[in-house]
């Protein structure tokens, strides 16, 4: 690393971020890891399908693909760290399987963070770029891939290429977001960083009308202020048609009267009884992780009698995700429900994007048809300019996930299970939601189960561009195509 990258005094006080050891790995270690990855690819017989040999995932798809399925795993060991941080340029070179927990721990001591930090600690940078990520800074900074200056990608045909906004592989740069590893796997990403302050002051503003809620989102997303106060972060929660909140975050260096939701209190409940709050920047970024938004209640972790005996180090999204995986494998809950005579349940785990002008309509439909709340809201707008002043997605679109520059969208996230009604089948409620999202001019993220027919899918997710990308970067089909990856049942 350069002297700029090593001789920097941390700028945040120790009360703002927890102490960490050096997390910067270095270029030599990265080269060794990439060589190991390439060697593992070349050792696989021609024509055999490949995938990443990783143990963890934040995806929610039913798949038989895995061990013993004829798909060979690539060695990704050593590709899970930060390579370097340039504090003057405000950039970082990061390995693709680096989690945001590790990335943030490396950047915060220097007063910097990624432009968008997805809510859960074990989401990886590569996953957030190829699968899209979002958070409360997205109304001003867009999505994680918009802060990527360049990235190295091991393509499906085994070549390691560097993709940038312009140049030989600009088509891959624009097509990589939302490709979910079907064109190749990133190994290194150079991303922009932004300066932070020590804490975030919060205002929880209640709305009793969904139209007023959507109108406020539209106003704040463009004006970036509310009632004369600047807004740096924006998200919200809908508890019912007459109880919804927008949480407005504003940078501050005042570290007095801080809250901590890593203990006995849950963050999302505080929204209902507090009008103001304050968290360190570290705790703000991970405010949702301790309880996986509100989903930890499924494990009893929000019951005070259980919570006080549940070690804090295990109140994490990845622990809950593993518990869900075990239940999906062994069917514990389904067996107990059947024994009690309860109906079978369908998993409904979705994030959908709606134009802000249709958001209230969709929320009314959802509350009438899907018996599951709360609903998380996260506004987003494509950045007005790309990395280092490159053209916006309005002139050179992100080809596999259509968002229009200059328009405000609202991500609605809802996660849980619903009872399967008499005469209905597993998957019917998800299909109903997909149809409604399309009706209201939206589209959904592909990290969870999808039920589209092939023609509908490709019309919504870049079917006019994807075949050419697939031919150029995975001509032999070593990787699944996007429809098979997102929708196919194997």
Q: How far apart are CA 390 and CA 422, in angstroms?
A: 54
At residue 54, the pLDDT reads: 61
> Mean pLDDT across the chain, nearest whole number?
87
Within a 13 Å sphere around the CA of 93, how many CA atoms are in the beta-carbon half?
19
Q: How many of the other CB atoms lie within 10 Å of CB of 53?
A: 15
Mean pLDDT (whole number) for 336-363: 88
Backbone dihedral region for residue 293 (phi beyond 0: left; psi -120 to 50: alpha; all else: beta): left
- Per DSSP, the three-state class of 458 is helix
Q: How far apart are CA 428 and CA 438, in angstroms?
A: 16
Q: How far apart are CA 291 and CA 295, in angstroms?
A: 6
Q: 238 with 373: CB under 8 angstroms? A: yes
The label of the residue with tokens 């927008």 reads: 246
Q: How far apart are CA 230 and CA 369, in angstroms?
A: 36
Q: Please indicate, yes or no, whether the overall pTM of this predicted structure exceeds 0.85.
A: yes
Tokens of 399: 């080809």
Q: How far apart are CA 19 and CA 457, in angstroms?
A: 46
User: What confidence tens digit (pLDDT) does each residue in 172-182 have?
Assistant: 999 999 999 99
User: What confidence tens digit (pLDDT) does each residue in 141-165 have?
Assistant: 999 999 999 999 999 999 999 999 9
User: What confidence tens digit (pLDDT) does each residue in 14-67 have?
Assistant: 445 444 435 677 889 999 999 999 999 999 888 888 877 666 555 555 554 444
Domain boundary assignment for the chain:
3-195
Q: Which residues, 6 or more positions from 214, have their beta carbon under 8 angstroms from its beta carbon?
A: 356, 357, 359, 360, 410
Within a 13 Å sphere around the CA of 18, how many CA atoms are in the beta-carbon half?
11
What CATH architecture is 3-195? 2-Layer Sandwich (3.30)
Q: Which residues, 6 or more positions from 262, have their beta carbon under 8 angstroms from its beta carbon?
A: 283, 290, 312, 315
At residue 255, the pLDDT reads: 96
Tokens of 309: 């005996």
User: What confidence tens digit (pLDDT) does each residue in 235-262 have?
Assistant: 999 999 999 999 999 999 999 999 999 9
């Amino acid at each position: 690393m350069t002297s700029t990258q090593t001789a920097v005094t941390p700028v945040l006080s120790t009360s703002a971020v927890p102490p960490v050891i050096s997390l910067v790995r270095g270029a030599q270690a990265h080269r060794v890891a990439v060589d190991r990855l390439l060697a593992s690819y070349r050792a696989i017989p021609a024509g055999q399908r490949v995938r990443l040999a990783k143990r963890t995932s934040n995806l929610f798809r039913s798949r038989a693909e895995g061990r013993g399925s004829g798909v060979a795993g690539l060695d990704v060991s050593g590709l899970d760290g930060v390579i370097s941080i340039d504090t003057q340029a405000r950039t970082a070179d990061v390995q693709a399987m680096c989690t945001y927990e590790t990335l943030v721990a490396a950047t915060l001591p220097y007063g910097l963070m990624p432009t968008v930090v997805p809510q859960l600690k074990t989401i990886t940078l590569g996953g957030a770029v190829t699968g899209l990520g979002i958070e409360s800074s997205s109304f001003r900074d867009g999505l994680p891939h918009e802060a990527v200056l360049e990235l190295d990608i091991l393509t499906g045909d085994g070549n390691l290429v560097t993709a940038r906004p312009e140049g030989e592989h600009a088509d891959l740069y624009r097509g990589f977001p939302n490709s979910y590893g079907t064109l190749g796997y990133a190994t290194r990403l150079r991303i922009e960083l932004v300066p932070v302050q020590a804490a975030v002051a919060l205002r929880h503003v209640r709305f009793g009308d969904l139209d007023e809620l959507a109108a406020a989102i539209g106003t704040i997303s463009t004006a970036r202020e509310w009632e004369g106060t600047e807004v740096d972060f924006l998200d919200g929660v809908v508890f019912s048609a007459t109880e919804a909140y927008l949480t407005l975050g504003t940078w501050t260096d005042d570290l007095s009267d801080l809250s901590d939701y890593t203990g006995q209190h849950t963050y999302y409940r505080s929204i209902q009884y507090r009008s103001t709050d304050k968290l360190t920047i570290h705790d703000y970024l991970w405010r949702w992780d301790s309880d996986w938004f509100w989903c930890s209640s499924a494990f009893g972790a929000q019951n005070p009698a259980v919570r006080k005996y549940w070690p804090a180090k295990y109140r994490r999204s990845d622990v809950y995700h593993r518990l869900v995986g075990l239940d999906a494998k062994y069917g514990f809950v389904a067996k107990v429900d059947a024994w009690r005579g309860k109906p079978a349940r369908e998993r409904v785990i979705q994030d959908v994007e709606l134009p802000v002008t249709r958001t209230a309509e969709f929320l009314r439909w959802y509350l009438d048809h899907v018996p599951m709340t709360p609903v998380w809201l996260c506004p987003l707008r494509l950045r007005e300019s790309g990395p280092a002043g490159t053209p916006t997605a309005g002139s050179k679109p992100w080809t596999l996930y259509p968002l229009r520059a200059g328009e405000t969208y609202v991500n609605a996230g809802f996660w849980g299970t619903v009872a399967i009604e008499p005469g209905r089948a597993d998957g019917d409620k998800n299909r109903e939601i997909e149809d409604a999202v399309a009706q209201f001019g939206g589209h959904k993220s592909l990290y969870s189960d999808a039920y589209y027919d092939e023609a509908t899918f490709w019309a919504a997710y870049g079917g006019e561009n994807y075949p050419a990308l697939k031919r150029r970067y995975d001509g032999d089909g070593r990787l699944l195509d996007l429809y098979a990856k997102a929708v196919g049942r194997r």
